[in-house]
Amino acid sequence: MFTAVDPHEAPFRSIVQVEAYFTDGAYGRGTGTLVGPNDILTAEHVLRNPGGDLEAIVVNFEESPTESDTSQTFFPWTMQVNYPGQLDLSDEFLSSEASSDVAIIGLNRPVGETYGWLDMRSTADASMENQAVGYPDWAEGWLIDTTFDLSRSVNWLKLGPSLTDNGNFSLHGYEVGPGMSGGPMLDAWNNVIGVNSTEGVANRLDGEWGMIQTWIADNDRIVARPELPLIGPDDPVPITPTERFDLGLSWVASDSIINTHTDWFSF
């Protein structure tokens, strides 16, 4: 069962459409959730492409087909992207890989102060009240909130929402599809308890909880200070790396602040 919801109303105004552009010309689209002042939670596979590097991200706020959305574009020097880096992009994406299919985008603008952000919760249970939210391609621009529908479930041995064998949320029984990747699984109190990954699975956040908290804390350093100009498409003249240094933007570590934290898995 699904409903088209108003992206201007809480909690849905904190859910965004994410468009990723790559250096080889490829393009991907998914969903994300503001979980902090400048932090977007999404799925890793939305931000990765085997043929090219991430070139830019367009974030669409309050997106709907009935009016112009508010879009902001972020380049590698105006954001940092963190993900576990465990997905095998050279082959078919497997539902078992959903356990590590999360990412945090850090923006240099505190957009959450405008649109609000949602709290996260780990170790949540499968429940009839959980909602999978996102921008599926079949909805033609509408933000969709979908709840469990037994008639759509392929597992008749479980008469309700369930967890998969590896502890993630099963999406069987939810009306989901491409474009919803990276969108949130919400509980009855609109806490983010999972991330939509494949058509049948949503990541439960538990395995990456520590990493997610570390990445969010690290994003605080990249928010542009008020006395300094914003870096990005709103600037009348592009700012070169040398000019950024001259302006005192020493908090920018490099032209590309895209990190894969595979060291977390070294044990």
Model pLDDT for residues 65-123, shown as the tens digit of each residue:
877 668 888 888 788 999 998 888 777 777 778 889 999 999 999 999 999 999 999 98
CATH number of the domain residue 124 falls in? 2.40.10.120
Q: Is the pLDDT of residue 16 over 50?
A: yes
Distance CA 27, CA 47 (A): 10
Encode burial over 110-120: b for 16+ CB neighbours within 10 A, e otherwise: ebbeebebbeb
* Backbone dihedral angles phi then psi of residue 198, each to the nearest 5 degrees: -100, 180
Over residues 189-215, the mean pLDDT reads 91
What is the domain range of residue 157?
Answer: 1-267
Lowest mean pLDDT segment, chosen from 100-114, 144-158, 174-188? 144-158
User: Which residue has better confidence, 31 or 155?
Assistant: 31
- Tokens for 228? 């300094």
pTM of the predicted model as reported, rounded to 2 decimal places:
0.82
Q: What is the pLDDT of residue 42?
A: 97
Q: Is the pLDDT of residue 124 over 80?
A: yes
Average model confidence (pLDDT) for the chain? Answer: 79
Q: What is the pLDDT of residue 150?
A: 55
Number of domains in the chain: 1
Over residues 219-238, the mean pLDDT reads 55
- CB–CB of 115/61 below 8 Å? yes
